[in-house]
Chain A
Amino acid sequence: MRKSGFIILLVLALLLGLGYYFTRDHYLERALEYQLEQLAEARVEIDNFHFSILGLQCGWDRLQIANKRNPWRNILETDKAELDFETRPLFWRKLIIREMTLTNVRSSSPRATDGTLPYEIVDEPGIVDEVFDSVQKQMRELPLFDLSGLGKTLNLDSLVNVKNLASVQSYHKLRAFADSSYTSWKTGFEPQSYMKRAEEIKAEVTGLNVDQVKGVAALVSTLDKLKGIQTKVTTLKDDVENKKQTLENTIATVQGQALGAQNSLKEDIERAQRLAKLQDIDTRQLSLMLFGAPAVQRVQQVLDYVALGRKYLPMAQAAMTSSKLEAPPRFEGQDLHFPFHYRYPRFLAREVKLSGATAGGDTSRGYFLSGEIKNLTNQPTVSGKPTQFKIDFQRIAGNQYTMSGNFDHTTNVPKDSLWISANNFGLGNIKLPSNKHFPHGLAANEGDVTLSGFFVGDALDLRLNLAAAPVSFDFSTTPKDMISNLVQNVLAGFTRLELGVQLQGAASNYAMSIHSNLDNVLADQLKKVVGEKLAEARLQIETRVRAEVDKRRKEAEALIENYKQSLTAEMQKVRGLVDQQVEEINKRKAEVEARIEAEKNKGKQVVDEKKKQAEEEAKKKLKGLLKKP
C-alpha cells in the first residue's frame, strides 16, 4: 500500500471538492433557469439556489417566472422552496422528487426587469393554436351589426349599382353567348347549300321527262333513276333534320343559361341589403358579437394550461429500440437499453405542495392559495399515472376559486380534463368589442363561474357558465339613433347576466357558441321596433333589384327569341323545299310504277287474245278432221 496515494487522492478530492463547491449551485441554478425558460418562454430567475447531495435536498429563496405576454409582470413568483429527492433512482440518473414545497406562491407580481427572452422559441402549432384559428375565423366572419341604415332615406342608386349585380352580369354574358351562337349559326348553317342541292334534285327529276317515256324497258330504266334520286333526297333530308336537331339543342342551351342567370337574383338582393345595413336579427349573433371577444380571451387563458400540459407532458412514444447505429459519435458509443423493472421517469415530482397569499400584509384583501400537484413528470408513459393538480384560492371575505385538472398522457391519445369554479368573485370591468349600438363595457360586482373542459386527442368540449349580478353596461356616449337608444334601454333593465359559452370540435374544425339571458329579450325588442321598417326597407331594395334585373332579362329573352325565330324560319324554308322534292319524287315514282304495271297488263291482254284466237282456229281445224267421210 502506498501512503503517497492517499495524499494524491486527498489533493485531487480537495481540488474537485472546492471546484464543485464554488460552481455547483451557480451551475445548477443556471441549468434549472434555462430549463424553466424553455417551458415558460420567458425569463426565469432563481435566487440563492442551494443543493445538498448528502441531505438529498435542494431549494431556493426566490423564483420568478415572467409572463411572456406581459414581460413586466411575473406569471408565477414563489419564495422559499424545498425539494426532497429519492436516493435510489439517482443511480439510474433519474430525478424523482418525493415532495416539493413552494411557499408564498403568487402571480401577476411586478418585475424590476423586462422578462422577454433574448432568443425566440419556435413552437409547433398544437390543438390550442388550431382552436384559436377556427374561433378567430368565426369571429371575423360575424356580420357587422349596424342597423343605422334604417333611420335614413335609402339612396337606392348608390346601393343598387347595376353594373355590380351578379344577375345583370349574367344576362350580359347570356347576350354575348346568344350573339356568338347566332353568328356561329349564320356562318355555319348555309341554307343556300341545302336549297341548291334540292334544286339540283328537282332538275334531275325534270330531266327524266317521265311523261314521254314509253315502253316497259324505258319505264323500268326511269324507275331505277328515280330510286337513285330518291336516295339523294333522303340523304339531304337527313342532313337537314340533323341540322335542325343541333339548332334545337343550341336554343335549349341558351334558354338553360337564361334560367341560370336568375339564380344570382337572391344573392344580389341580400348583398344590396347588407350594403344598406339591413340584416335579420339573430340571437346567436347577438351574443357572439357582444361577448365573443372577451370570452375568447378567457378561454385562451384556460387553453394555455392545456397547451402547457400538451407540450411538456409528452404522449406515449414507441418502445425504445436498440438497433445498431452505424457510426455513433467518437468515444461516445451507443447506450443500449434493457427492460427496466422500475417506474422511474427521467423526472418525476410525486407531490408538489403549493401555498401562498396575495396582497401581502392586508389579509382581508389578499387571496390565500393552497394546492398540490401529483405525478408531475416528463415521461408519463413510464410513470403510468396521470398528472393531477388541484389549487384553491380563498379570501377571508368568502371569494373562492378552485382549479383542478387531470392530464393523462400515459397512452398514445392524450386525455386532458380541466375544471374551474369560482364563487363570489369580482368580475370587474370587461371591455366589450366596439360597436355603435352596443355598450363598450360591462361591470359586474359578484359572480359565479364554472368551467369544464375535456380534451381527447384533437377533440375538445369546453363549457363555461357565468352568472353575475348586479351587472351594469357602460355606454360611454349618449345614443344617437333609435337602435342605440333601444339597446341602451333594454340593457339598462338587466341586473343579472347569465352567460353560457361552448367550444366544441375536432380535427381543425372548432366552433364557439354563446348564449345569454339577454339574447331573446334584446332580439325580440329589436324585432318589434325595427321589424316593420326593416321589412319595408328590405322590400324597397328587393323591388329595385328585381326591376333592374327584369329589364335585363326581358332584353336578353327578346334577343334570344328574335334569333330563334330567324333561324327557325330559315330552317323551315329549307325543310319545306326538301319535303317538296321528296313528295315530287315519290309521286313520280308511283306514276312510273303504275305505268309499268299498266303496260304489263296491256301486254298480257294481247297475249291472252292471241292465245284465244289460236285456240279457236285450232278447234275449227280439228273439227273438220274429226268428221267421217
Chain B
Amino acid sequence: MFIFQILSQVIKAFRAGESPRQIAAGFSVGFLIGLMPFWTLQGVLLFLVLLFVNINMAAGSLAMLVAGFVAFLLDPLFHNLGYAVLTLPALQGAWESLYNMPVAPLSRFNNTVVMGSFLGGLVLFVPVFIGMKKLVVSYRSGLEERIKKWKIVQSIRGSKIVEWYVKIRDLGGM
C-alpha cells in the first residue's frame, strides 16, 4: 500500500502543483540517499535536507527505493571505485587528516562502498536532476495522455489491487 501511496503522490505531483524543479530536486536527493548505505553522517544530513527543504518528498521516497535497487546491482562497481579513490597516493594526506578528525569518521568515508556510492551519486546527481525535470515537463505537455493509452497502464488501472487501494483510500478520506 505504501508503494501505491508514494506512486499516487508522485503522479499527482507530475500532473500539477509543485514545479518540475522541486520534483527533480526531490528525486535527485532521494536517489543520492538511496544509493549509499543510510547510516552515515551524510546520509542522515541528506535525509534532513529532503525533510526540511521545499522539494518533493514523494519523488525523493520513490527515488530512494529505485536507487536501492540500482545500488544492489552496482555494489561491486562502487567497491572498486571507492577502493581506487581511497588508495590514490595523491589523496592519502587528505584521507589521513579526515580520518583523524573527530566527526569525519561518522561519515564512514573510509569504507569502499560508502565512498564509491557517494561519488557515484554525486556524478549522477546532475543528469538525474536534468532528466527528471525534462520528464515532468514532457509529462505535463501531453505525455500523460499517451501513457494512459499504454496497455500495461490500462491493465494496472483495471486490476483488483488498484481498485481495492482506491476504495480504501476513499474510505480514509485521502
Contact = CB atoms under 8 A, between A and B. Distances in A.
Contacts of A152: none
B3 interface: no
A2 B51 contact: yes
Interface in B149-168: none
Given A92-B105, A327-B76, A338 B51 contact: no
A332 B48 CA distance: 24
Interface stretch (A4-12, A156-164, A261-269, A571-579): A4-12
Interface stretch (B7-15, B107-115, B133-141): B107-115
A573 to B, nearest CB: 97
B103 A91 contact: yes
Given A1-B53, A2-B51, A334 B102 contact: no
Given A330-B75, A332-B113, A336-B87, 15 more contacts: A2-B54, A9-B48, A91-B103, A91-B106, A92-B105, A324-B87, A331-B71, A334-B79, A334-B112, A334-B113, A335-B110, A336-B83, A338-B92, A340-B99, A342-B100
A395 B112 CA distance: 59
Nearest to B97: A338
A6 B79 contact: no
Given A5-B52, A8-B51, A334-B79, A91 B105 contact: yes
Shortest Cβ-Cβ A-B pairs, 3 listed: A333-B113, A5-B51, A338-B99
Interface of B: 37, 48, 51-54, 71-72, 75-76, 78-79, 82-83, 86-87, 92, 95-96, 99-100, 102-103, 105-106, 108, 110-114, 116
28 contacts: A1-B52, A1-B53, A2-B51, A2-B53, A5-B48, A8-B51, A9-B51, A9-B52, A88-B102, A91-B103, A91-B105, A324-B83, A324-B87, A330-B72, A333-B82, A333-B112, A333-B114, A334-B113, A335-B110, A336-B86, A336-B87, A336-B110, A336-B111, A336-B112, A338-B96, A338-B110, A340-B99, A342-B100
Contact of B52 (A6, A336, A337): A6
Given A333-B113, A338-B96, A322 B51 contact: no
- Interface secondary structure of B, over-half rule: helix
Contacts of A629: none
Nearest to B75: A330
B156 to A, nearest CB: 29
B100 A340 contact: yes
Given A6-B52, A334-B111, A334-B112, A328 B105 contact: no
A339 B71 CA distance: 30
Nearest to A88: B102
Nearest to B99: A338
Nearest to A6: B52
A93 B53 CA distance: 31
Contacts of A332: 113
A140 interface: no
Contacts of A2: 51-54
Contacts of B92: 338
A252 to B, nearest CB: 78
A613 to B, nearest CB: 130
Contacts of A324: 83, 87
A620 interface: no
A5 B105 CA distance: 27
A628 interface: no
A336 B113 CA distance: 11
Contact of A341 (B51, B75, B95, B100): B100
Contacts of B53: 1-2, 5
B96 to A, nearest CB: 5
Interface in A337-369: 337-342
Contacts of A337: 99, 110
B110 A328 contact: no
Contact of A91 (B52, B79, B102): B102
A319 to B, nearest CB: 15
Contacts of B113: 328, 331-334
A333 B71 CA distance: 12
B54 A1 contact: yes
A394 to B, nearest CB: 44
Interface string A1-29: 11001101100000000000000000000
Given A331-B75, A333-B79, A339 B96 contact: yes
A208 B153 CA distance: 136
B104 to A, nearest CB: 8
A330 B113 CA distance: 9
Nearest to A3: B52
Contacts of A340: 99-100
A419 to B, nearest CB: 39
Contacts of B112: 328, 333-336
